[in-house]
Amino acid sequence: MRHLMSPLDFSVEELDQLFDLANDIEANMEKYSRACHGKKLATCFYEPSTRTRLSFESAMLGLGGSVIGFSEASSSSASKGESVSDTIRVISCFADICAMRHPKEGAPKVAAERSSIPVINAGDGGHQHPTQTLTDLLTIRSLKGRLHHFTIGLCGDLKFGRTVHSLINALARYEGIKFIFISPRELMVPDYVTDMLKERNIPYEEVIRLESIMPQLDLLYMTRVQRERFFNEEDYVRLKDFYILDKAKMKLAGPDMLVLHPLPRVNEISVEVDDDPRAVYFKQVQYGVYVRMALILTLLNIRVDEREGEKICLT
């Protein structure tokens, strides 16, 4: 049995297979529409979510399975003091696979250690968000045709943004990646991330101004300032609108640069950018469903026969 706690839990080759499967699902939805018939996904979300929870649910329903779960800690027995370890042992009696989001870093890992079903980390505190990274990588690979030889700018809250930490870890395994970190000093990428890049001789720059580096970028990954992780509201208010990507800044970028964002967006991308063909953050959401479908099939060891569309269980 496998869990997914970090994007590094899959080798580069396994990721390629996962993305091939996601692309096949995108092209042949009907073929996969009964692949998880009789299987249940539990979505255990102790923190708010729109995309991740609903795209997991949409993915399982698209595979012909069913979904149970809760969307806030207050409506689960966590509010009565139940531990994550006990909750997952209970959920293991009800479902075949679980996607868990938790405000505490490492909580899904604790659950995985006590679980008898696969557990997927759907975001743990400011730590990791591996399925967002799978979404980001599938989007880049599908729209650019490769995952190597890019200059990528990551902009905004690089300190608390778990999607950023997961994406850097994952992209660092591909050839010819250069990172440009764009943030105010208070929200710079943590030292443990830059130490990893230094150790592996992976080039990176840290800058404050977005305008100056726009012409160099193949990819721009915008992020929101993570209000929920700030210790005081004053700091959040001071930093929240530090970057606003607008049409004027987009004019500084190349014609093929792609703008990604894990969403939700607050003010950091002006809505006037949405119609620019380089803005792909809503396409990214759709890729998130395909890659979660591929992930569910992979973790449940279900393969769909190429010709007949018949489900083959590999367990």
DSSP 8-state code for residue 37? T
- The number of beta carbons lying within 10 Å of the beta carbon of residue 207 is 13
Q: How far is the CB of 297 from ligand CP (least distance, A)?
A: 21
CB-nearer residue toward ligand CP: 261 or 311:
261
CB-nearer residue toward ligand CP: 160 or 204:
160
Does 292 qualify as catalytic in the annotation? Answer: no
Does 148 qualify as catalytic in the annotation? Answer: no
- Does residue 254 interact with ligand CP by CB under 6 A? no
Does 101 qualify as catalytic in the annotation? Answer: yes
CB-nearer residue toward ligand CP: 50 or 116:
50
Q: How far is the CB of 45 from ligand CP (least distance, A)?
A: 8
- Which of 43, 52, 87, 151 is catalytic? The answer is 52
Q: Helix or strand or coil: residue 303?
A: strand
CB-nearer residue toward ligand CP: 123 or 125:
123
Does 129 qualify as catalytic in the annotation? Answer: yes
Site for ligand CP in 92-131 (CB under 6 A): 123, 129
Does 52 qualify as catalytic in the annotation? Answer: yes
Backbone φ, ψ for residue 69 (5° rounding): 150, -175
Please tell me the count of residues contacting ligand CP according to CB under 6 A. Answer: 10
CA-to-CA distance for 182 and 78, rounded, in angstroms? Answer: 38
- Does residue 50 interact with ligand CP by CB under 6 A? yes
Q: How far is the CB of 138 from ligand CP (least distance, A)?
A: 14
Which listed range, 15-23, 49-57, 92-100, 301-309, lies at the site for ligand CP (CB under 6 A)?
A: 49-57
Q: How far is the CB of 251 from ligand CP (least distance, A)?
A: 27
- The number of beta carbons lying within 10 Å of the beta carbon of residue 133 is 26
CA-to-CA distance for 156 and 187, rounded, in angstroms? Answer: 7
Buried b (16+ CB within 10 A) or exposed e, 193-203: bbeebeeeebe
List alpha helices for the chain, DSSP H.
12-27, 51-62, 84-94, 107-114, 130-144, 162-171, 191-199, 233-239, 247-250, 281-299
Tokens describing residue 68:
């149970």
CB-nearer residue toward ligand CP: 176 or 264:
264
Site for ligand CP in 182-241 (CB under 6 A): none
Q: Helix or strand or coil: residue 19?
A: helix
- Does residue 259 interact with ligand CP by CB under 6 A? no
CB-nearer residue toward ligand CP: 38 or 264:
264
- Does residue 263 interact with ligand CP by CB under 6 A? yes
CA-to-CA distance for 265 and 268, rounded, in angstroms? Answer: 7
- Which of 101, 127, 162, 261 is catalytic? The answer is 101
Q: How far is the CB of 313 from ligand CP (least distance, A)?
A: 30
Cα dist. 287→5, 65, 134, 168, 191 in Å?
Answer: 20, 19, 9, 19, 31
CA-to-CA distance for 238 and 6, rounded, in angstroms? Answer: 32
Residues involved in catalysis = 51-52, 80, 101, 129
Which residues sit at the interface with ligand CP, rule CB under 6 A? Answer: 49-52, 123, 129, 132, 262-264
